[in-house]
Amino acid sequence: MRRLTSFVLALAAASCGITSEGERTEIPATPEESASPALPAPAEQPPPPPAPSPWDEEPPCPKAPCAARPIVFVHGHRGSNSDWATVTSALADGDPRWDGVRFAGTKDHAAWPTRSIGRRDWLFVFDYYVQKGNDARESYTAGHGRIGSGGAIVGDAPAYDIVDHEYAADLAALVDDVLRATGAKKIDLVAHSMGGLVSRSFMAFHGGNAKVETLLLASSPHAGLSLAGLAALFGIGPDWMPSLEIAELDSGSALAKVRFLRQGEPESAKGSWTEKLLDVETKAPIAGAVHVLSGSKDLYVSYDSAHHPAAKTHVVVDTDHSGILKAPETIQRVRELCGGTYP
């Protein structure tokens, strides 16, 4: 009996890993026993919120009221920044939203620091003929130019492609720098004569549709000029103009130096540059509000040529082609339609 009891105790000790000397020995675990239980994956943390961007903040207004949007003024054929002196002086001196005016050419605005121009100086005058805003009138320091379309409208004369720059692309660069330097989301455009074609080309071919809230066009020849062919024939302006911007202004006269096509059109569709621009706007209308001014005594741009199909209003002023730049009605329309008020 004692032997049987000793045997049972020894067997039990062995099963517990205890030797006859009383020491515990490790018993190898089975593969099933050695596998650790799977721990739950840690919960995925949401990404941290993005740091606030200065572009999300409205530029401050140091003395209310201020302008809600910058205004960019664009001159016409053979014009300059000084063409808008009467209008911009009236705004800077007599409108509580503005204190100052900034003049720009094609090369000087890239140096403006980001968000450096306060609301009370949101008046900009652009001269696409010169590199710097204070370059002399008719110095043409920016080189040989044309309105242009970024290649969307092509001419049938080799001379049309001998060009240094395009005014619509120059305006696009200026507007981008105005938005960067002010922190504004959109601008308003005020354009005289050929400047209206430059502005519309910028909007149609250079992304301007998304950047312009209001477009005010003063005596702009949307249907072209019947006298442009004569101007080219008699050599009015620098010798490079007839095959470039004057050819674009021509309404399709028999004297036209260049005929135009939109990319992909057959040869039989040749027409005037202004006609092709209107075709593009028919398919992709101007997004902003369009308003028109014309002069009852304008011998160059008729009421019909000045009228744009997208115009919400068309006001006739008792003046001629250049007089509309100084007319009290023009100043009043700019005050009413452009800039907005902040806050």
Q: What is the pLDDT along the chain (343 residues), one digit of tens a residue?
A: 444 445 444 444 444 444 445 444 444 555 555 555 566 666 777 777 766 555 568 999 999 999 999 999 999 999 999 999 999 999 999 999 999 999 999 999 999 999 999 999 999 999 999 999 999 999 999 999 999 999 999 999 999 999 999 999 999 999 999 999 999 999 999 999 999 999 999 999 999 999 999 999 999 999 999 877 667 656 678 999 999 999 999 998 888 889 999 999 999 999 999 999 999 999 999 999 999 999 999 999 999 999 999 999 999 999 999 999 999 999 999 999 999 999 9
Rounded distance between C-alpha atoms, residue 316 and residue 303, angstroms: 8
* Residue 195 maps to a domain: yes
Identity at 334, one-letter amino acid code: V
As for how many domains the chain has, the answer is: 1
* Residue 239 maps to a domain: no
Rounded distance between C-alpha atoms, residue 319 and residue 298, angstroms: 7
* Residue 257 maps to a domain: no
Identify which of 77, 223, 222, 94 has the alpha carbon closest to the alpha carbon of residue 146: 77
Enter the DSSP assignment of 121: G
Domain that residue 124 falls in = 62-149+164-221+284-337
* Residue 158 maps to a domain: no
Q: What is the CATH number of the domain that holds 105?
A: 3.40.50.1820
N-term to C-term CA, the chain: 107
